[in-house]
């Protein structure tokens, strides 16, 4: 039997061949994976491009057909399309297969997908902390996940074997795997990712309302702060709807903190303001060092 680079799956179907799905495929190729990688998507020209680039081995526009015989199915399309997709493919999922995802929200995804799993099929929620503001296959790379963290969110229904296989795959990609409950995941990422994305979008709109030409005057600081406002509106709408309560909670806290800062400015409390800036400067140092 041919080696598959320590990977337990003979046939892997990736539904949604964009930045993350494409990088997942390229990470497999980089490991010398010799099983079949099947790309599934709505746009044939995108799939053709992925095949021409050697990212996938074969492709299907019909998901039902594409997932046949797959040992691993990776959902890497916007979270809002998960349920419809699962309902579409469910009758063709092989017994013993594992389904995983790369979505940025976990509680709703798990709640929605677990009941749809056919007998003998495991779902393991996953969220690689990697990405760019772009979402196309053209930006996919074999090292997107190298050195990044990947959160796995099992529930009481998730089998230990399936968890291990998915965790092992991410570790082979060079990621650091963290295990959390879906609830813990959604609380943390509402704060460190979802709410900040919403703020970046809102910051851009606020400036445009002030003066539609003002962004021309931006320097490197604002460019960096608003880079993520280039992200897919559809994807972020889905994330907001799936993690609504946690995002509202952290957004409320930010609004209240900004009100406090505005108060310091109004009172000309420069010492108080400097203390706030100092505490942020100090706190920022530990960022991303897990």
Binders in 118-137 for a copy of itself, by CB under 8 A: 129-132
Give least dist CB 157 to a copy of itself, A: 25
Task: Determine if 205 is a binding residue for a copy of itself (CB under 8 A).
Answer: yes
Evaluate whether 265 touches 273 at the Cβ level (below 8 Å).
yes
Q: Which of 1, 91, 156, 210 binds a copy of itself (CB under 8 A)?
A: 210
DSSP string, 202-243: HHHHHHHHH-TTGGGG--HHHHHHHGGGGS-HHHHHHHHHHS
d(CA 113, CA 1): 34
Alpha carbon dihedral 276, 279, 280, 282, in 10-degree steps, equals 160
Q: Which of 6, 146, 157, 279 binds a copy of itself (CB under 8 A)?
A: 279
Q: Choose one: 28-36, 40-48, 160-168, 227-235; the region binding a copy of itself (CB under 8 A).
A: 227-235
d(CA 5, CA 32): 6
Q: Which of 97, 99, 107, 240 binds a copy of itself (CB under 8 A)?
A: 240
Q: Which is nearer to a copy of itself, 48 or 208 (CB)?
A: 208
Give least dist CB 23 to a copy of itself, A: 14
Q: Which of 42, 84, 111, 237 binds a copy of itself (CB under 8 A)?
A: 237
Please count the residues of this chain forming the interface with a copy of itself, following the rule CB under 8 A: 87
Return the ∠ at Cα 41 (arms to 39 and 44), rounded to 5°: 95
Evaluate whether 15 touches 66 at the Cβ level (below 8 Å).
yes
Task: Determine if 160 is a binding residue for a copy of itself (CB under 8 A).
Answer: no
Q: Choose one: 11-19, 27-35, 65-73, 232-240; the region binding a copy of itself (CB under 8 A).
A: 232-240
In the numeric block, which tokens belong to residue 182? 């879906």
Task: Determine if 112 is a binding residue for a copy of itself (CB under 8 A).
Answer: no
Name the nearest CA neighbour of 232 among 199, 197, 257, 256. Answer: 197
């Amino acid at each position: 039997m041919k080696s598959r680079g320590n990977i337990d799956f003979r046939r892997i179907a990736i539904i949604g061949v964009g930045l993350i799905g494409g990088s997942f495929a390229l990470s497999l190729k980089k490991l010398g994976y010799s099983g079949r990688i099947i790309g599934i998507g709505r746009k044939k020209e995108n799939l053709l491009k992925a095949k021409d680039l050697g990212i996938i081995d074969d492709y299907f526009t019909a998901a039902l057909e594409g997932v046949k015989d797959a040992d691993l199915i990776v959902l890497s399309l916007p979270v809002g399309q998960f349920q419809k997709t699962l309902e579409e493919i469910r009758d063709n999922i092989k017994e013993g297969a594992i389904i995983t995802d790369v979505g940025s929200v976990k509680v709703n995804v798990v709640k929605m997908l677990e009941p749809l799993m056919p007998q003998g099929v495991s779902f393991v929620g996953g969220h690689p902390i990697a990405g760019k503001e772009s979402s196309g296959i053209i930006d996919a790379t074999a090292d997107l996940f190298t050195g990044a963290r990947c959160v796995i969110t099992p529930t009481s229904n998730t089998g230990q074997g399936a968890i291990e296989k998915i965790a092992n795959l991410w570790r082979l990609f060079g990621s650091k795997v963290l295990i959390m409950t879906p609830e813990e995941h959604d609380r943390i990422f509402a704060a460190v990712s979802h709410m900040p994305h919403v703020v970046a979008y809102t910051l851009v709109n606020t400036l445009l309302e002030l003066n539609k030409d003002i962004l021309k005057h931006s320097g490197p600081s604002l460019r960096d702060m608003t880079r993520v406002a280039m992200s897919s509106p559809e994807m972020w709408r889905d994330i907001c709807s799936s993690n609504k309560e946690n995002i509202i909670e952290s957004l409320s806290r930010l609004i209240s903190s900004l009100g406090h800062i505005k108060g310091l400015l109004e009172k000309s409390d420069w010492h108080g303001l400097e203390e706030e800036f100092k505490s942020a400067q100090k706190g920022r140092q530990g960022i991303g060092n897990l």
